[in-house]
Amino acid sequence: MRAGRNDSMMAWLLPYCDAFVTRDGRQRESLSQVKQLAQLGTEVLEFGQLAARLRA
């Protein structure tokens, strides 16, 4: 899967976030790969995952 150009440009935010939340599965997958390659501690979540945590 590949995220679009604008979605991919959001990767610069990862080092500055504890968590990055998106509703776009392709963006989540792409940014998760960036996070892993850059060895960042940022958590990349889909909105549904965040909502489930908040309900728990």
For 28-49, the pLDDT digits (tens) are: 999 999 999 999 999 999 999 9
pTM: 0.82
pLDDT of residue 9: 85
Q: What is the mean pLDDT of residues 17-21?
A: 94
Percent of the chain with pLDDT over 90: 70
**pLDDT for 1:** 54
Q: Are 56 and 36 in contact (CB under 8 A)?
A: no
Beta strands in the chain (DSSP E): 19-22, 43-46
Structure tokens at 38: 């850059």
Mean pLDDT of 15-27: 93
